[in-house]
């Protein structure tokens, strides 16, 4: 088994879309990343996160049953789980945050389970950069550190983020964040500037427009699958990251050529997440369904111009 | 030789970008489409358009020298050529139109040269839909009619556009226009609705985010090449259309699988156009440069996940 350490928030989400609304369901970055990675049979993902005493045992069981190690999920006695609530607009591309209650996440001090300190791949979901750095420092020389972050940390903790980035191999951010972090409008130039901050690989997520992978002078583009209907976009980016990290852990090959495949896997798994509320679709996903959709990605992107 | 009929505006353009500005240079849809199509050695493109007496002979020679038939370019005695002037903003994604003087284009009555009425492929650049329809009616049963249009005609001549669309095999429009024409936000659903209006193939252009091709339940996605610098976006969409039509004319194969290749060719040629002002880069382009860039498109999009 290939160990994969996943750090990220764990939350109750209450989501409203034009199609309906949910009560408090399991959310946050780490469940999406973990569920996506758990799709790969020879990968053993461990989630490192914190929840409150209000977090139901059935949610922990739900993760365990899918092969996710939960030893690193700290349960704070008397504490309340991080809560997020949001409402998507009709175009599904913008949303209003209705509530963000950090609760136990505010004092999160991650502890990587001893048995996972030798994992070769670490996936750091969006969190305070100093917490992400703390996790890196607990690891025994991992082969690949992947970090997701967002504009919020660029606004309030830029130097901390830059310090953390020096220890990171792959960064995943969206296009606007790449522009903010680099001060460059062109994504090609932005990726070059971000390379110089540390990460040898830069993944720029463009939502419905797919994702770009940059490495030195090389580029790869994974489209998002065009869908007739997006039901709930929550967790798509985290699923993408989990599919990317999980595929690399599965194959044990972190070459640029194999990262292309990892990017396609990430985009493929993310295309399922948006079909239902929260983690519902991801949790019920079968291998055959994934294979069929990967076939769609091939149809969508492969062409046969002869270059001789 | 494979004949290709191209109808579209021919203009003087005066362009201002953050990198500089031009005097009046050759512009309009038909020169870009023609120059892109002229890249294919066994294709004989003919431009059908109208210019004024002020249109320099050297511009006509410029087109002829590149193998473009100019018999269908009407020169109106005492008339002035269509003039457009625009200024791009710093992000290159938006522009202000400073001047639009239709001049002789206002009364354009296209005449397809007799020798080109048997062309198998017709590329109708953005023009009044009734003018586009007039061209279709002059042709002897073409195999493929490709039409480009824009929101302007949806605003002021929607019924006329719908009448023309019934005679069209391939439509190329941008994402916002596809949404406007169909009343659907999802591009997948929008393409289905537009299919029902006539075109069996729907190409949705997303600018820097590439282009999608829809046919029944099939989809293909051609990315735009991410560039460090876009110098002047003018004509990129028309170059794309010209590369698409030119490749299909060259290969004589209008299957969906081959349209994938045509879309990549279109995207490839468009990536050159934006590197310099106006038609400058397209006019000096060599076959080796195109081949090299097609190779970049392969690197950018091809992956090797085994599906067994």
| Sheet of A170-174, strands arranged across | A73-76, A43-52, A2-7, A121-124, A144-148, A170-174, A201-205, A211-215, A218-222
Give the alpha-carbon dihedral of A200, A206, A210, A211, to 10 degrees.
Answer: 0
pLDDT of residue A308: 62
Q: Do A219 and B300 touch (CB under 8 A)?
A: yes
Q: Do B264 and A303 touch (CB under 8 A)?
A: yes
Provide, as residue numbers in chain A, all residues whose Cβ is less than 8 Å from the Cβ of B189: 228-229
Q: Residue range A176-180: average pLDDT?
A: 97
Could you tell me whether strands B43-52 and B2-7 are parallel, antiparallel, or unpaired per DSSP bridges?
parallel
Are A90 and A66 in contact, with CB atoms under 8 Å apart?
no
Q: Do A265 and B305 touch (CB under 8 A)?
A: yes
Are B150 and B54 in contact, with CB atoms under 8 Å apart?
no
Give chain A's domains with CATH numbers: 4-301 (3.40.1190.20)
Are A300 and B221 in contact, with CB atoms under 8 Å apart?
yes
Angstrom distance (rounded) from CA B60 to CA A308: 34
Mean pLDDT taken over chain B: 96
Minimal CA separation from B110 to chain A, in Å: 35
Nearest CA in chain B to A263: B303
- From the list B189, B264, B299, the residue facing A305 with the nearest CB is B264
Mutate to test the interface with A, among B91, B303, B307 (most CBs of A within 10 A): B303
Q: Do A186 and B303 touch (CB under 8 A)?
A: no
Q: Report the run of H or E that residue B304 belongs to, with start and end.
A: none
How many other CB atoms sit within 10 Å of the CB of residue A44? 19
Are B61 and B37 in contact, with CB atoms under 8 Å apart?
no
Q: Which residues of B touch A (CB under 8 A)?
A: 90-91, 185-189, 192, 206, 209-210, 212, 218-221, 223, 226-230, 257, 260-261, 263-265, 291, 294-295, 298-305, 307
At residue B70, does pLDDT exceed 70?
yes
Q: Do A295 and B307 touch (CB under 8 A)?
A: yes
Angstrom distance (rounded) from CA A9 to CA A105: 7
Provide, as residue numbers in chain A, all residues whose Cβ is less than 8 Å from the Cβ of B90: 185
Give the alpha-carbon dihedral of A204, A206, A209, A214, to 10 degrees.
Answer: -10
At residue A292, does pLDDT exceed 80?
yes
Q: Do A298 and B291 touch (CB under 8 A)?
A: no
pLDDT of residue B31: 98
| Residue A8: exposure state from Cβ atoms within 10 A (0-12, 13-18, ≥19) | buried
Is the ipTM here above 0.90? yes
- From the list A187, A298, A302, the residue facing B226 with the nearest CB is A187
| DSSP string of chain A, one letter each residue | -EEEEEE---EEEEEEETTEE-SSEEESHHHHHHHHHTTSTTEEEEEEEEEETTS-HHHHHHHHHTT-B-TTEEEETT---EEEEEEE-TTSS-EEEEEEE-GGGGG------GGGTT-SEEEE-SS-HHHHHHHHHHSS--SEEEEE--HHHHHH-HHHHHHHHTT-SEEEEEHHHHHHHHS-SSHHHHHHHHHTTS-SEEEEE-GGG-EEEEETTEEEEEPPPP-S--S--TTHHHHHHHHHHHHHHHHT--SHHHHHHHHHHHHHHHHHHTTSSTTHHHHH--HHHHHHHHHHHHHHH-------
Q: Do A220 and B300 touch (CB under 8 A)?
A: yes
Angstrom distance (rounded) from CA B262 to CA A157: 47
- From the list B91, B294, B302, the residue facing A302 with the nearest CB is B302
Alpha-carbon distances of B2 from A84, B68, B92, B111, rounded to whole Å: 61, 12, 36, 20
Residues in chain B: 308
Angstrom distance (rounded) from CA B147 to CA B164: 9
Q: Which residues of A touch B (CB under 8 A)?
A: 90-91, 185-189, 192, 206, 209-210, 212, 218-221, 223, 226-230, 257, 260-261, 263-265, 291, 294-295, 298-305, 307
CA distance between the termini of chain A: 43
Which positions ≥6 away from B26 have C-beta within 8 Å? B10, B11, B12, B13, B59, B62, B278, B279
At residue B260, does pLDDT exceed 90?
yes
Nearest CA in chain B to A264: B303
Nearest CA in chain A to B295: A307
Cβ-Cβ contacts under 8 Å between A and B: the total is: 103
Q: Do A223 and B210 touch (CB under 8 A)?
A: yes
Provide, as residue numbers in chain B, all residues whose Cβ is less than 8 Å from the Cβ of A301: 220-221, 301-303
At residue A303, does pLDDT exceed 70?
yes
Q: Do A189 and B301 touch (CB under 8 A)?
A: no
Minimal CA separation from A174 to chain B, in Å: 14
Q: Do B223 and A221 touch (CB under 8 A)?
A: yes
User: What's the DSSP call for residue B238?
Assistant: H
Alpha-carbon distances of A73 from A28, A70, A77, B304, rounded to whole Å: 13, 5, 13, 36
> What predicted TM-score, i.e. pTM, was given to this entire model?
0.95
Nearest CA in chain A to B219: A300
Q: Do B209 and A212 touch (CB under 8 A)?
A: no
pLDDT digit string (tens) for B195-231?
999 999 999 999 999 999 999 999 999 999 999 999 9
Minimal CA separation from A20 to chain B, in Å: 18
Categorize the per-residue pLDDT at A216 as very low, low, confident or very high, splitting at 50, 70 and 90. Answer: very high
Q: Residue range B176-185: average pLDDT?
A: 96
Please report, rounded to a whole number, the percentage of residues in chain A having pLDDT higher than 90. Answer: 96
Are A230 and A274 in contact, with CB atoms under 8 Å apart?
yes
Q: Residue range B27-40: average pLDDT?
A: 98
Minimal CA separation from A8 to chain B, in Å: 28
At residue B235, does pLDDT exceed 80?
yes
Angstrom distance (rounded) from CA B177 to CA B190: 10
Q: Do B226 and A299 touch (CB under 8 A)?
A: no
- CA A73 from chain centre, in angstroms, equals 17
Output the six-digit token pair for A42.
């020879």
Mean pLDDT taken over chain A: 96
Output the six-digit token pair for B210.
């590439």
Minimal CA separation from B187 to chain A, in Å: 7
User: What's the DSSP call for residue B77?
Assistant: T
Q: Do B301 and A302 touch (CB under 8 A)?
A: yes
Categorize the per-residue pLDDT at B308 as very low, low, confident or very high, splitting at 50, 70 and 90. Answer: low
Task: From A305, A63, A198, select the one nearest B298 (Cα to Cα).
Answer: A305
**Vertex A127 angle, CA A145 and A102, to 5°:** 160
Mutate to test the interface with A, among B226, B268, B292, B294 (most CBs of A within 10 A): B226
Provide, as residue numbers in chain A, all residues whose Cβ is less than 8 Å from the Cβ of B212: 226
- From the list A219, A230, A261, the residue facing B305 with the nearest CB is A261
Angstrom distance (rounded) from CA B244 to CA B260: 9
Sign of CA dihedral A48, A53, A59, A64: positive
Describe the crossing of helices B175-182 and B187-196 by its angle, rounded to 10 degrees.
Answer: 60
Output the six-digit token pair for B106.
């206002």
Angstrom distance (rounded) from CA A77 to CA A81: 11
Q: Do A226 and B187 touch (CB under 8 A)?
A: yes
Please report, rounded to a whole number, the percentage of residues in chain B having pLDDT higher than 90. Answer: 96
Nearest CA in chain A to B251: A305
Could you tell me whether strands B121-124 and B144-148 are parallel, antiparallel, or unpaired per DSSP bridges?
parallel
How many helices (H) does chain B have, and how many strands (E)? 11, 14
Are A170 and A147 in contact, with CB atoms under 8 Å apart?
yes
Are A74 and A111 in contact, with CB atoms under 8 Å apart?
yes
Categorize the per-residue pLDDT at B306 as very low, low, confident or very high, splitting at 50, 70 and 90. Answer: confident
- 3-state SS assignment for residue B258: helix
Describe the crossing of helices A129-138 and A158-165 by its angle, rounded to 10 degrees.
Answer: 30
- From the list B188, B220, B226, the residue facing A188 with the nearest CB is B226
pLDDT digit string (tens) for B79-99?
999 999 999 988 777 899 999
């Amino acid at each position: 088994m290939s160990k994969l350490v996943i750090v990220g928030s764990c939350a109750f989400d209450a989501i409203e879309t034009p199609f309906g609304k949910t009560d408090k369901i399991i959310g946050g970055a780490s469940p999406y990343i973990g569920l996506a990675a758990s799709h790969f049979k020879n990968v053993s993902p461990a989630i490192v996160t914190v929840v409150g005493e209000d977090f139901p045992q059935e949610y922990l069981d739900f993760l365990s049953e899918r092969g996710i190690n939960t030893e690193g999920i700290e349960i704070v006695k008397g504490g309340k789980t991080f809560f997020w609530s949001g409402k998507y607009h009709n175009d599904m591309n913008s949303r209003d945050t209705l509530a963000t209650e950090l609760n136990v996440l505010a004092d999160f001090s991650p502890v990587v389970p001893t048995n996972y300190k030798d994992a070769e791949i670490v996936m750091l979901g969006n969190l305070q950069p100093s917490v992400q750095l703390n996790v890196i420092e607990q690891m025994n020389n991992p082969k690949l550190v992947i970090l997701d972050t967002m504009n919020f940390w660029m606004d309030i903790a830029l130097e901390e983020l830059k310090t953390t980035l020096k220890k990171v191999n792959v960064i995943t951010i969206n296009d606007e964040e790449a522009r903010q972090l680099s001060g460059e409008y062109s994504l090609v130039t932005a990726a070059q500037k971000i390379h110089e901050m540390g990460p040898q690989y830069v993944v720029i997520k463009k939502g419905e427009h797919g994702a770009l992978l940059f490495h030195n002078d090389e580029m790869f583009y994974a489209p998002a699958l065009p869908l007739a209907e997006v039901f709930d976009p929550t967790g798509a980016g985290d699923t993408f990251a989990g599919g990317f990290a999980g595929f690399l852990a599965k194959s044990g090959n972190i070459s640029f050529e194999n990262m292309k495949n990892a990017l396609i896997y990430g985009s493929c798994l993310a295309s399922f997440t948006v079909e239902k509320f929260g983690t519902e679709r991801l949790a019920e996903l079968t291998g055959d369904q994934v294979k069929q959709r990967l076939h769609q990605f091939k149809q969508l992107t492969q062409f046969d111009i002869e270059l001789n």
